[in-house]
Structure 1
């Protein structure tokens, strides 16, 4: 399987976005990405978003870049999926269905949004779940009678720095915890997916963007919790930068794969990104690699070699080191492994 981060395509020739990477995506048994925003010509821009005017909308011909085996399944749970309201997300579902691209994380109601996409390959069944913890309350979550996305609410509190009296004005320390009801629902979803599949992937739109590389404590807690509940792999996105990769138990957590193909400018976006590959044997992770990718000036991902590849892998290694992940470089890619335990 291959996994990439955020995909937002808005151009006259959509397939041109993926020219350099198309063969890698097509050659995989399963290819996955996060569709950042609706593919639609319906609906009205959602009012009241905190960043006024930031609405993502891709034209209907965008699906020509994603179809014909380029992507097998896409996540729809993110903070732009509902930018054109219920009509926009439901047309996106229709467009993907017509193109035979499976999807997860959004639907006509809460049950549909939380329903896993199931793909069978090599005699095994793979279940894909998708959630967002970054969203506009009220308008984005699917309910029993309204289209939307699958969400996991997170509560934020702040505690003083232990040196606040010694150093007045010290920044407060954020403390983030999952909503108890959503946490229980999430665990039940994972367990149910595990009952019907041999391998479970959880896609998660989470974390903090705006070039802020710190991973919030709720991400570590929830990422490990879903692995403990039966998931094999967590694929994170939203920060628009690469973040660390952690082995936990028999599973793997990628906190952010960054942007991958993104037709939008921002000083907070990195050009470094990656294609994560995961070989699965008998329902277990057998080998994990990172293919280094840089996003060019036309917003297109390009697989790179030499020093350019080395810079991307340096970033992966630096961000993954706190999670005790070894990055072993071989022939221009990186093989990821849990670091060996120290000798006793």
Structure 2
């Protein structure tokens, strides 16, 4: 079971964040989310991210209560290094596996591996949303695993005639970081039965940037069974590439950061069977910021919108009651 962005803070009862979806999560063999918010207490703030607040280490109880097995720590708020290290230590004490960040680049690139029913599943995590200074891990410094991209602009042909005409935006992944990701996936595939690749990327809205396609397709060609995206806080299209699902953004699952209150309320859970079945479960946060499973008309609306934005990629999503079934053939 895969979920999107999770930020837990300022709660007297951390477990309450997941009370509305715990029964659904419990049906899975393992559960994975993006932990967007280090569990490091007050810590050093991010001066260039206004109003940002970190989570208290006690908030890890929400993850353990919900049965979260693996989290990605590769995102823009796993920063600075001291906050990242403190959070990893909290996760280690709680017995929650993590990927995408580490005490050095080698540790950050190391996959989290979960064993189930004689099979091993490796989780790798990367972030394209990355501060340009002291954020990416190095051989001697803690941090995250970057998967950055270059942005360029092609002016509208009529811009001289029509001032303000929007340019075409072109994004291209850093070639060395893409090569490293491919090598990571190939190695993980050789050593495990299945590989999950998670990337923190994209911009709010439903438009997928060029580099996201390039990175996702390369990951699948290298051996990834599924690519899980998050970062824009909004739901983005789903693509099936070489029979493998790519979820460009699952949106928010739980997000307590006050700035996010009453914004980007909907998200997706994905129940994936490595034999080739993907079921999409719409969620939304309620007035108490608690994740709830949607049903009825609300669920159908989310699924129909997802099907509509995914159709240009050749994706077919069948709506079965309050669930979506992704056709992988």
TM normalised by structure 2 equals: 0.95
Partner of 1:80: 77
In structure 1, C-alpha distance between the alignment counterparts of 2:308 and 2:134, rounded to whole Å? 38
Per-residue deviation, 1:323: 1.4
Q: Secondary structure of 1:27's partner?
A: coil
Q: Taking structure 1 as reference, are residues 174 and 319 closer, same or farther at Cα in structure 2, changes over 3 Å only?
A: same
Residue 211 of structure 2 aligns with which residue?
Answer: 218
* Deviation per residue, 1:32-62 (Å, 9 max, x gap): 0000010013641233x2x4x3424111111
| Partner in structure 2 of residue 191 of structure 1 | 186
Match of 2:98 in 1: 103
Partner of 1:325, secondary structure, is coil
What is the aligned residue count?
Answer: 327
3-state DSSP of counterpart to 1:77: coil
What is residue 317 of structure 1 aligned with on the other side? Answer: 307
Q: How far 1:214 moved relative to its partner?
A: 1.3
Q: CA deviation at 1:81?
A: 0.9
Q: Report whether the alignment pairs 1:289 with 2:279.
A: yes
For 1:175 and 1:123, the matched residues in 2 are separated by 44
Q: In the alignment, which of 58, 67, 83 is matched to residue 70 of structure 1?
A: 67
Say which SS state the counterpart of residue 103 (structure 1) adopts.
Answer: strand
d(CA) in 2 for partners of 1:306, 1:268: 21
Which residue matches 1:277? 271
Change (3 A) 1:58 1:12: same
Q: How far apart, in 1, do the equivalents of 2:291 and 2:65 lie?
A: 19
String of CA shifts for 1:158-195, please: whole Å, max 9, x gaps: 11123435534311111110111111111111111111
Deviations 1:250-270 (A, max 9, x none): 311100000100013448932
The answer on whether the counterparts of 1:26 and 1:71 sit within 8 Å (CA) in structure 2 is: no
Task: Give the superposed CA RMSD.
Answer: 1.7
2: CA distance, partners of 1:131 / 1:92: 17
1:22 and 1:260 map into 2 onto residues whose CA distance is: 12
CA distance in 2, matches of 1:267, 1:60: 21
Instruction: Tell me if the contact between 1:42 and 1:88 (Cα under 8 Å) persists in the aligned partners.
Output: no
- Once the 2 structures are TM-superposed, how far is the Cα of residue 233 of structure 1 from its aligned partner? 0.8
Comparing 166-175 and 241-250, the one that deviates more: 166-175
TM-score (normalised: structure 1): 0.91
| Deviation by residue 1:214-253 (Cα, 9 ceiling, x = unmatched) | 1111001111111011111110001101111111003111
Moved more, 60-69 or 182-191: 60-69
- Change over 3 Å in CA distance of 1:175–1:268 after alignment to 2: farther
SS in 2 for 1:253: strand
Larger CA deviation: 237-246 vs 65-74: 65-74
